[in-house]
Structure 1
């Protein structure tokens, strides 16, 4: 006799859907030699898998919101942090982004990052991290 409750990854009568979401943000230069730490965005401030710890205590860059999506607040916080690191190293970079509405430059601006947005219809064709980098990164973290 099957249990009357459980978790399932697809819909089955009498079982709850697994609604765990986690988004990752990958950022690297054109050669892949330099990259930012992976940013994890989840739905909860302290997920069960963190064993009552916060992401920074475990060495992760972790943010959260109710939908586990990148939003303006998370993007701006990360961009300002990166700009401060670049300023200390006296580096300047060109940052290419799609036109997602959450990719909004902070009002105070960023001194060491020149942000250029792709045209709206160009995004599906210019995805440099789609060249196996995303799949490889996911495989490494899913183990």
Structure 2
């Protein structure tokens, strides 16, 4: 066929856009695996199953084991070429629509960690939750917890909690006779109360 159309191929100029876009399509080294993965991917798409490149690689490795093909790696390069040969594209999900009839959980927590540079002196976590007394802690005394427990409606760090934390930290460091430098960002909750 190429020889029959030789005039067409010879008519391309060296700098023509058609010649620049010509690429040699390489055959797969593992056509049995690619055929099996391609069939699996088509079936998954028809069934509405979403998958990504990692899933394709894992499936290809399992199929290679079943076919007793030992030198197949399912590398990132193989995945890229497989997707090109089979016209598969990976799309990122932007947002999830809420499931009808289901209520979205609104549980939130904030946690603050305090330690020295070497990490050998750590203070208990500062834990902020939305409820003053959650059901799971109903019979438990807050001071007996291994964390410093605080609460507010949005589980956010606020000036009053941070001020209380600073006073608590100051008393611990004075008692231990330590001088410290505390690093914190410039969030409004980290500014002293007026």
TM-score band, normalised by the shorter chain?
0.5 to 0.7
Q: Which structure is larger by alpha-carbon Rg, 1 or 2?
A: 2
Q: Give the secondary structure class of the aligned counterpart of 1:63.
A: strand
Matched, 1:20 2:107: yes
Name the counterpart of 1:87: 174
Unaligned runs of 5+ in 1: 1-9, 108-143
1:36 to partner: Cα distance:
1.3
Q: How far apart are the structure 2 equivalents of 1:27 and 1:100?
A: 17
Worse overlay, 25-34 or 98-107: 98-107
Output the TM-score relative to the length of structure 2. Answer: 0.47
1:54 to partner: Cα distance:
4.2
Q: Give the secondary structure class of the aligned counterpart of 2:192.
A: coil
Name the counterpart of 1:41: 128
Name the counterpart of 2:155: 68
Matched, 1:56 2:143: yes
Counting only pairs closer than 5 Å after superposition, residues 119-134 of structure 1 correspond to structure 2 as none
Worse overlay, 44-53 or 75-84: 44-53
1:47 to partner: Cα distance:
0.8
Which of 21, 32, 45 lines up with 2:119 in the alignment?
A: 32
Q: How far apart are the structure 1 equivalents of 2:145 and 2:178?
A: 28
Name the counterpart of 1:114: none
Q: Give the secondary structure class of the aligned counterpart of 1:94.
A: coil
The answer to which structure, 1 or 2, has the higher relative contact order (CA under 8 A, 6+ apart) is 1
Q: Please provide the CA RMSD for this pair.
A: 2.0
Q: Give the secondary structure class of the aligned counterpart of 1:78.
A: helix
Output the TM-score relative to the length of structure 1. Answer: 0.62
Name the counterpart of 2:90: none
CA contact (8 A) 1:46 1:54 kept: no
CA contact (8 A) 1:46 1:52 kept: no
Q: Give the secondary structure class of the aligned counterpart of 1:74.
A: helix
Structure number with higher strand proportion = 1
CA contact (8 A) 2:111 2:128 kept: yes
Structure number with higher helix proportion = 2
